[in-house]
Structure formats: C-alpha cells, structure tokens
Amino acid sequence: MRHFKMLYLAVFALFIAVAIAGCSEQEKTGLEKVKETGEVSFAMSGGYPPFNFYNKTNELVGFDVDVAKEVAKRLGVKLKPVTTEWSGIIEGLRSGIYSGILGSMAATEQRKEVVDFSIPYYYSGAQMFVRADGPFESVQGLKDHAVGLVTGTTFEQDAKNLGVTDIRLYKDDTSTLTELSNGVIAGVITDRVVGVNAMNSGKFNIKPLGSPLRREDIAVAFRKEDKTLTDEVNKILTQMHEDGTLTALSMKWLNVDITKK
C-alpha cells in the first residue's frame, strides 16, 4: 500500500511538472515570444507598390517595409519580412507563421472578429480607376463591364455595392493595373494612393474616376492571443505619429502625408 502511494505521488508530481512546463510554453506568446526569438516577422503581399514591392534588384521595399523596419528597431529585435498571397494572409497569421500583418490591411469589422488590430498607421480609401482615354463619366457606368481587383481585399465588396456583374480577381495590383492599361478590363478598384502612384509613374494609361468610394483605417493585424505584442506596437506607432516618423516615411514614398485623418 505504501509502495502504491509513493508511486501515485511520483506520477502526480510528474503530471504537475509537465502541466507547468506546458503552461509556461503556452505563455510564450506576443511580446515575450518576439523578445525571446530576437525577431518579429511581418507579412505583406510584396506586390503592392509603393507600400510593399520588389524593386529592380529584387529587394523588398516600400512604405510598409520601412514602417516595419522602424517598429522592429523600436522593439529591439530584427525584422523578418514575409511575402505571401493576400488571399490566405490572415490564416497564415492565425496559424502562427508570422508575428503580424503589416501590409496595408484595412481594419474592417469582419476582420476584427478573427484578429486584433493596432491603431491606424495611415488612412486610405477605395478608388475606381479607368483608362485615361476611356468613355466612362461615373462609376455607375462600370456596372456591366469587367472590373478587376486583388483577391481577398475589401474592394470586392465595393464592386458588389456598385452592382458590378463581372468582377475579375487578380493576385496583385501590378496585374490589375496592367490589364486595365491594356484594355483587357474596363476598371480597377484599388487603394487611391496606389492607383495615383501607378498613374504618375507613366507606366499605366489610367486615371481615377470620381471620388473615393469609402475611407479605411490601415493598421497592423495580430493574433488575438498576442495582446502584449499588440499593446507594445500601439505604443510604438503612437510615438511614430507624434515624433513625425510616419509623416516622413509617407512623404518619402508618396510625396503626401497619408498618416493624418
């Protein structure tokens, strides 16, 4: 009986030790995990100029990339940028493949149901673009024509709200704007700044049509269990707003300050 009791206590002690170890491992989320690994990984599409894209030397650059670098610097860790398809980017975050999404993601109510968001680091809006020599005078004229947009974005709902019957989905805005410029599709809904930047580059024969369809808060997405990391990044973004860092980066890449409401 005594032997059985001692055996029982030994097994119980082992169970407690394993449970404590498991709990300790589970607690290594958010900021603690980032500090322990010494790096923070932010995901983006890599095909969204001037926010995040590959330049002629195949280097990932852009406004989002510079913001991510500064956030990592102020966290005291290295940045590990990750490029991935936009359509599955939230699931990648929820699976823990990367620390957050810093890739011009709009903080919508639907997305807030599955992930948490930081405070906005810039403000944007959905805009319809058409060929510069096109016949359209208003967005209503696009209802029965092919309109392109990036899959997995909030722009699809904008197209549906307009009553567009032929919605074409693409992997990035380089593709949508090229197809528009070549006359394959009649319109593109994308971020206003992205479209204007593409228009000013001289590479695309396009123009904005009408006013922005709506405005968006653009923020960093995190897993809901990583609240400590969200809170710390919020502090950093607040500092970057106040000390002018975000404004400077916006002017660098866009020649306009999109960080103010």
| pTM for the predicted model, two decimal places | 0.73
For residue 117, give both structure tokens: 């968001």
Report the alpha-carbon angle 95-100-105, nearest 5. 110
Residue 248 CA to its chain's centroid (Å) = 20
Tokens of 131: 């060929």
pLDDT tens by residue, 96-153:
999 999 999 999 999 999 999 999 999 988 999 999 999 999 999 999 999 999 999 9
First-to-last C-alpha distance (Å) of the chain: 74
Residues 17-65: tens digit of each pLDDT: 444 444 444 557 899 999 999 999 999 999 988 999 999 999 999 999 9
Confidence band (pLDDT; 50, 70, 90) for 13?
A: very low
Q: Write down the pLDDT at residue 27.
A: 55
Q: What is the mean pLDDT of residues 66-87?
A: 97
> Which 8-state DSSP code applies to residue 141?
G
Helix (H) or strand (E) holding 175: helix 173-181
Q: Does the fold of domain 125-215 match that of domain 30-123+217-254?
A: yes
**214-222/206-208 β-pairing:** unpaired
pLDDT attached to residue 166: 98
Q: Which tokens belong to 18?
A: 């394993």
Q: Whole-angstrom Cα distance, residue 213 to residue 202?
A: 24
Q: Positive or negative, the Cα torsion across 43, 45, 47, 50?
A: negative
Domain 125-215 top-level CATH class = alpha beta
For the residues 161-165, what does the mean pLDDT come to? 96
Grade residue 3 by pLDDT with cuts at 50, 70 and 90. Answer: very low
**Mean pLDDT, rounded, of the chain:** 90
Instruction: Report which residue type is found at 139.
Output: V
pLDDT score of 12 more than 50:
no
Q: Per the omega criterion (within 30 degrees of 0), is the bond before 81 cis?
A: no
- Report the C-alpha gap between 47 and 177 in whole angstroms: 12
pLDDT tops 90 at residue 6: no
Indicate the domain borders of the chain: 30-123+217-254, 125-215
**In this predicted model, what pLDDT tens digit does every residue of 170-207 receive, in sequence order?**
999 999 999 999 999 999 999 988 898 898 888 999 99
CATH number of 30-123+217-254: 3.40.190.10
CB proximity list for 24: less than 8 A, separation 6 or greater: none
